[in-house]
Amino acid sequence: MDAVFSDSQNQFRQEVRDWLSANVPGERLPSLDTQKGFDLHRAWEKKLHAGNWGMVTWPEEFGGRGCSLTDWLIFEEEYYRADAPLRVSQNGIFLLGPTIMEYGTDEQKERFLKPMAAGDEIWAQAWSEPGAGSDMAAIRSKAVRDGDEYVISGQKIWSSRAVFADWCFGLFRTDPESSRHHGLSKILVPLDSPGLTVRPIAQLDGDPGFAELFFDEVRVPVSNLLGPENGGWGVAMATAGFERGLLLRSPARFQAAAARLVKLYKQNANRLSSGIKEQVLQAWGDTERFTAATYALVAQVDSGASISSEASANKIFWSEMDRTMHRTAMTIMGMHAELEEGDGAIENGRWLDGYMFSLAGPIYAGTNEIQRNILAERVLGLPRQ
């Protein structure tokens, strides 16, 4: 066990830092849930890609640098230290990309990974349905085989960024006789397909951050099937593992927020009640715990171990830490907390945005209640209900 970065890791960090300081936009980009913000975030993805920083852990042949996960944590630290823009291509690069590498055919890797890394094709996820949220095995949208095509009908909901994205991936019932998690397949669908209607849904902040997707006999080639037909559940669980686990939420973003919280506290310290101080220390401490745990997890994965149900503890921890930390910021801001911008608004309403989004953390990627069920049953071995 050691906690010292190697010379080459330090060099890598410096390289990332230098590139980011020369390239990160001076001003925060508008929300990626608006057309303008989305376009600017896409342009940033292209810039990252041009610098070969799009997804450092990917193999070189797909536009990456073949870095270890530890290097990726270093990259993320520098990324959030530089306050670089959010990753509009996160569904592709963090979730679908690794799944294609694991389950995709050579043709699929060739077809999808490069434009994904380049920001040319941005992906949305289409799992949830009105009747299938936590109970994802209740999916009813179907894909019927017709020659070398699937004909898709049904409805998906809460698809983040689908309003502006290019493609979506999700689970569809390919075996009409099947029930629950059998007979589902993971299929990739262009969002501009004839018969596919994308209806924006305004999120808590009023921006069209998600969409409802109506599939009315949408046709896609059979080659858009990822993994085995009727074996989509297993493929989807692999993606869910990446999402709950380490790829989507590395410690750096939370450490950056905790550092901002300490600053916010100091600026307001003279008017705060005494209990706030400990909440601030708790926020900082929790991000340190999350960092140590993530480096330990990454060391395990780099040494060949695979993570599965343990990812559930990860998801519970980061999402609740994030919410608590943002609530503390709201408390500190007090009467200024409600201000979105302009006079009196602190950091242009950034904490408020962050607080709203932190409330979604315990809901998306499988609610925390579901994660607790998974931990209790699959890790602790308690009896199923």
Ligand X SMILES: Cc1cc2nc3c(=O)[nH]c(=O)nc-3n(C[C@H](O)[C@H](O)[C@H](O)COP(=O)(O)OP(=O)(O)OC[C@H]3O[C@@H](n4cnc5c(N)ncnc54)[C@H](O)[C@@H]3O)c2cc1C
Active site residues: 243
Bridge-partner residues for 167, per DSSP? Answer: 123, 190
Least distance between ligand X and beta carbon 15 (Å): 33
| 230 close to 292: Cβ distance less than 8 angstroms | no
Least distance between ligand X and beta carbon 344 (Å): 28
Least distance between another protein and beta carbon 273 (Å): 15
Give the alpha-carbon dihedral of 70, 73, 77, 83, to 10 degrees.
150
Count of CB atoms within 10 A of residue 261's CB? Answer: 21
DSSP for 109-174 reads IIIIIHHHHHTSS-EEEE--BTTBSS-GGG---EEEEETTEEEEEEEEEEEETTTT-SEEEEEEE-
What is the torsional sign of CA 78, 83, 89, 95? positive
Looking at 300, 308, 324, 331, which residue binds another protein (CB under 8 A)?
300
Segment contacting ligand X by CB under 6 A, of 18-26, 32-40, 53-61, 366-374: 366-374
134 contact, one of another protein, ligand X, none, CB 5-8 Å limit per kind:
ligand X
| 348 close to 333: Cβ distance less than 8 angstroms | no
Segment contacting another protein by CB under 8 A, of 33-41, 52-60, 259-267, 328-336: 259-267
Decide: is 345 part of the binding site for another protein (CB under 8 A). no
For residue 120, CA distances in Å to 53, 113, 166 come to 15, 10, 9
CA distance 119 to 232: 26
Bridge-partner residues for 153, per DSSP? Answer: 142
Least distance between ligand X and beta carbon 53 (Å): 25
Query: How many chain residues touch ligand X (CB under 6 A)?
Result: 19
Per-residue binding string, ligand X, 346-365, x by CB under 6 A, is: --------------x--xx-
Chain positions 2 to 21 lying near another protein, rule: CB under 8 A, are 2-6, 9, 13
281 contact, one of another protein, ligand X, none, CB 5-8 Å limit per kind:
another protein
CA count, 13 A, side-chain hemisphere, 36:
5
Decide: is 303 part of the binding site for another protein (CB under 8 A). yes
Decide: is 160 part of the binding site for ligand X (CB under 6 A). yes
Count of CB atoms within 10 A of residue 73's CB? Answer: 19
Which residues form the interface with another protein (CB under 8 A)?
A: 1-6, 9, 13, 70, 74, 76-78, 80-81, 251-252, 255-256, 258-259, 262, 265-266, 277-278, 280-281, 284-286, 288-293, 295-296, 299-300, 303, 310, 313, 316-317, 369, 371-373, 375-377, 379-385
Which residues form the interface with ligand X (CB under 6 A)?
A: 124-128, 133-134, 158-160, 210, 360, 363-364, 366-367, 369-370, 373
